[in-house]
Structure 1
């Protein structure tokens, strides 16, 4: 596969591995000798249903998803799920209440959206700036809440959870858009995991939802059909025309992750990449500050070698301008 001349550190849509792109290119006009590509394929066809089912099977294997969880491919991005989550789950609480941990831009937007549908409790004092996660023992959790929501990795602010909150019997909803499949996850600790695909697992257009079965079927009557977890689960994500090509590309990415060592290998690679960049920052004697600068995203498809080139560039820039 020809290597790109530009190294892509975009925050999303982010880099897709070149071998995945090459396969998509090869199959663009003629998928498995059908004479047409996935872009033209009926979403009711046996071939497309096979694409959906294989993607689910690989995801289940990669994350060791228990049998009592369902996988749904939806539209609207994680932002759409900011509405879908309360519309589907708030009825689990007798007074339509949910707890939110707000540690950055994305969880703040999620909480604001959820306020349209019920009572939203921010479990900690309002943060003046998003630079850390409030100590868990300072949270005021409601044992009767429908769920506890948080964003596992706040890309805009650089805050990532390195623990799964203890919420007792209250289901946890986690937005893992930016770090899904970059580290091992015990799915059984979560009620719902949501993730837009365009950072780590594909291209823009499809959103992943992993949901425990007992949380399905509690949707409000106002819940739109396209966001209804029960309807979409019952219809195998095919209630209406899905983002077919995006699901196909996600399937290719999942297969690539599986072929290259799975989540464990991705986790090791991500740790190495992170260490390279933070080492430059931490040893810069203050040259790299939080004001100004650029943002570099090190998603799964970015290689250690590409990250090393960025680290080298940062070092040379510092030496020239310090």
Structure 2
């Protein structure tokens, strides 16, 4: 492995890079948080300094996403996969069903988990035959009459796809896994009953998940729900039913403050679109590289591409890593390459990647 004396361009899909300014602030406060004489990592989650961190982080998040008051905002321990079980247990009763749009492996896993408890859940779109490069246009016409909710994965990290236009449904509540794109583009929160996201893409360190849910649309259940999966219980306890991942919440709060200082989600969306365009334009104009995803389905967060001569894959990756371009290897079941260009990735990182790609093409041309 090449050793570096400074920060590199980190294109890992997750855990992903964090903003340098956030890391530097966390470094300054690591041993002594704001005169408390201790690190946030050592601090009691019941202490006032941590409660202030928690409250401030949620305040900034509500502001960034314009979250209505009727929506609960809850931090959960663990990854977003935890919600694959929590959501059906909170939103379905025995014999009830929900609709799933299967645009990738994580939506498939979510349906499989729901089916353990509720065998009547349905598939209203399956992108398996297209190798998950297709994204459906979801309308009320596709929704089952008995669906209690419709479940989507809004951005597919593995396959480099996303819903360019997010569904607006009236027939059933919409629930979205937004792990790899929350805070990267503008949303109308009221189009969703639930949004959840693992932190390790655009929010903070791994081991933390954020859930935003419409409290007015949460059904009353007559079956037991494990306490740590119970939306109402966790919200009433202010994310503190048990000891939460305190340092990850602190880091998420710093990221939210950074986003506010940057100008908010609208500014980030424009920056992200520009970064993605620079990379996709390079791929599309090349005789060596190829993007397998149709233009209208392409993710802005995760750009998947291949070499038309895959015998060069190992050399491309070796050269990239030597140039300080980390994490470009594609997902193990897909192959090729993937550049994850989340909010924290500066435009200079994309420019460096594009420069390397062009030079590699010239040298192999």
How many angstroms apart in 2 are the aligned matches of 1:289 and 1:184?
Answer: 25
Is the CA contact 2:30–2:39 (under 8 Å) kept in the aligned structure 1? yes
Aligned residues: 318
Is the CA contact 2:140–2:171 (under 8 Å) kept in the aligned structure 1? no
State the SS of the aligned residue for 1:77. Answer: coil
Match of 1:159 in 2: 161
Is the CA contact 1:104–1:159 (under 8 Å) kept in the aligned structure 2? no
The alpha-carbon distance between structure 1 residues 34 and 11, as it changes in their structure 2 partners (threshold 3 A), is same
Match of 1:114 in 2: 114
Task: Write the deviation string for residues 82-126 of structure 1: whole angstroms up to 9, x where unpaired.
Answer: 1111111113xx732111011111111111111111121001356
Q: How is 1:77-96 mapped onto 2 (pairs within 5 angstroms)?
A: 77-91=79-93, 95-96=95-96
Is the CA contact 1:38–1:244 (under 8 Å) kept in the aligned structure 2? yes
Q: Report the alpha carbon displacement of residue 79 of structure 1 after superposing the two structures with TM.
A: 0.5
State the SS of the aligned residue for 2:283. Answer: helix
Match of 2:359 in 1: 316
Match of 1:297 in 2: 340
Q: Which has a greater percent of strand?
A: 2
Match of 1:262 in 2: 264
Is the CA contact 1:143–1:168 (under 8 Å) kept in the aligned structure 2? no
Q: Report the alpha carbon displacement of residue 139 of structure 1 after superposing the two structures with TM.
A: 6.3
* TM-score relative to the length of structure 2: 0.83
How many angstroms apart in 2 are the aligned matches of 1:47 and 1:167?
Answer: 41
- Which of 216, 222, 229 aligns to 2:218? It is 216
Q: How is 1:1-322 mapped onto 2 (pairs within 5 angstroms)?
A: 4-91=6-93, 95-118=95-118, 119-124=120-125, 127-128=128-129, 129-136=131-138, 140-216=142-218, 218-219=220-221, 221-285=223-287, 287-288=289-290, 290=292, 292-322=335-365
The alpha-carbon distance between structure 1 residues 8 and 122, as it changes in their structure 2 partners (threshold 3 A), is same
Is the CA contact 2:77–2:207 (under 8 Å) kept in the aligned structure 1? yes
Q: Report the alpha carbon displacement of residue 246 of structure 1 after superposing the two structures with TM.
A: 0.4
Q: Report the alpha carbon displacement of residue 212 of structure 1 after superposing the two structures with TM.
A: 0.3
The root-mean-square deviation of aligned C-alpha atoms, in Å, is 1.8
How many angstroms apart in 2 are the aligned matches of 1:279 and 1:202?
Answer: 29
How many angstroms apart in 2 are the aligned matches of 1:219 and 1:76?
Answer: 24
Query: Greater shift after overlay, 274-283 or 4-13?
Result: 4-13
Task: Write the deviation string for residues 162-221 of structure 1: whole angstroms up to 9, x where unpaired.
Answer: 222233241100011111111000001100000001100111111000000123353563
State the SS of the aligned residue for 2:175. Answer: strand
* TM-score relative to the length of structure 1: 0.94
- Give ranges in structure 1 of 5+ residues lacking alignment: none
State the SS of the aligned residue for 2:116. Answer: coil
State the SS of the aligned residue for 1:78. Answer: coil
- Give ranges in structure 2 of 5+ residues lacking alignment: 293-305, 307-334
Is the CA contact 2:268–2:343 (under 8 Å) kept in the aligned structure 1? yes
How many angstroms apart in 2 are the aligned matches of 1:5 and 1:40?
Answer: 27
Task: Write the deviation string for residues 227-275 of structure 1: whole angstroms up to 9, x where unpaired.
Answer: 1101100100000000100001000000000001110111111011101
Task: Write the deviation string for residues 292-314 of structure 1: whole angstroms up to 9, x where unpaired.
Answer: 43211000000011111001111
